[in-house]
Amino acid sequence: DVKVTQSSRYLVKRTGEKVFLECVQDMDHENMFWYRQDPGLGLRLIYFSYDVKMKEKGDIPEGYSVSREKKERFSLILESASTNQTSMYLCASRTSGRAIPNEQFFGPGTRLTVL
Amino acid sequence: AQKVTQAQTEISVVEKEDVTLDCVYETRDTTYYLFWYKQPPSGELVFLIRRNSFDEQNEISGRYSWNFQKSTSSFNFTITASQVVDSAVYFCALSEASEASGTYKYIFGTGTRLKVLA
């Protein structure tokens, strides 16, 4: 079974702190994604990575950066956390599927609260 | 613009009732893919189905069925004889190829929360 794990289920941080959210998948997937989920807004794509060290902005990248130094790990970084970044963060991975978009496998999510 | 609309925010049904979750999409692509995911209370989204734009046949999997109608840009999901375990948030999603890398990404709808009451 594909396993996508996220470093924390719940996280509380202070405004201005640098925050790292880690995601690890164990199925050698090429593509990895970070979303945030907010009530009434569904899932919105922050960043995705299609290979090691390769990344692309999603729909709402402002205030975030990402890092993918190893294939299995994709990190989301909040350089200076703000209260409007309080949200549920979901990581997903998928095989490359250049011709056909395959299904994504999701982690359990990290609920981040910024005070 | 690419867009997915799930107009039903929340639906409540009594166990054993049938329920249909609506999904309407907008796309400029001639080839595209549609998905449904389930998010149970535990939070982890689970893949249910993928359908490509060339296959308009309805699909049935146990109590679940999907109706894809290109003419109305809809991909609706029906649960027959609903059960309490079907209570979850259901998301519809549309594929979109990145212009920069060609990687497929997804546009999700806002989700429909289904509550099945015993």
Instruction: Kindly report, residue by residue over A98-111, the tens digit of the pLDDT.
Output: 678 888 999 999 99
Report CB contact under 8 Å: B106, A107.
no
A and B: number of Cβ contacts within 8 A:
60
Tokens of B82: 């609903």
Nearest to A42 among B43, B101, B108 (CB): B108
Nearest to A42 among B46, B101, B110 (CB): B110
Q: pLDDT by residue (tens digit) across A9-62?
A: 999 999 999 999 999 999 999 999 999 999 999 999 999 999 999 999 999 999
Which residues of B lie inside 8 Å of A (Cβ-Cβ)?
Answer: 6, 9, 33, 35, 37, 42-47, 50, 52, 91, 95, 98, 100-106, 108-111
Q: What percent of chain B has pLDDT over 90?
A: 76
Q: What's the start-to-end Cα distance of chain B, in Å?
A: 41
Report CB contact under 8 Å: A108, B44.
yes
Q: What percent of chain A has pLDDT over 90?
A: 87
Report CB contact under 8 Å: A107, B44.
yes
* CA nearest neighbour of A50 among A108, A110, A111, A95: A95
Backbone angles phi, psi at B80, to 5 degrees: -95, 140
Which residues of A lie inside 8 Å of B (Cβ-Cβ)?
Answer: 31, 33, 35, 40-45, 48, 50, 54, 56, 58, 88, 90, 92, 96-98, 100-109
Mean pLDDT of B32-59: 92
Alpha-carbon span A74 to B89, nearest angstrom: 26
Binned at pLDDT 50, 70 and 90, residue A2 comes out as low
pLDDT at residue B4, as a whole number: 97
β-strand B112-117 against B10-14: which pairing, if any? parallel
Alpha-carbon span A87 to A72, nearest angstrom: 24
Q: What percent of chain B has pLDDT over 70?
A: 100
A9 C-beta neighbours (distance < 10 Å), count: 11
pLDDT at residue A97, as a whole number: 65
pLDDT at residue B98, as a whole number: 84
Q: pLDDT by residue (tens digit) across B52-92?
A: 998 888 888 999 999 999 999 999 999 999 999 999 999 99
Least confident interval from A7-11, A78-82, B95-99, B105-109: B95-99
Minimal CA separation from B57 to chain A, in Å: 18
Q: What is the DSSP letter of B72?
A: G
pLDDT at residue A100, as a whole number: 80
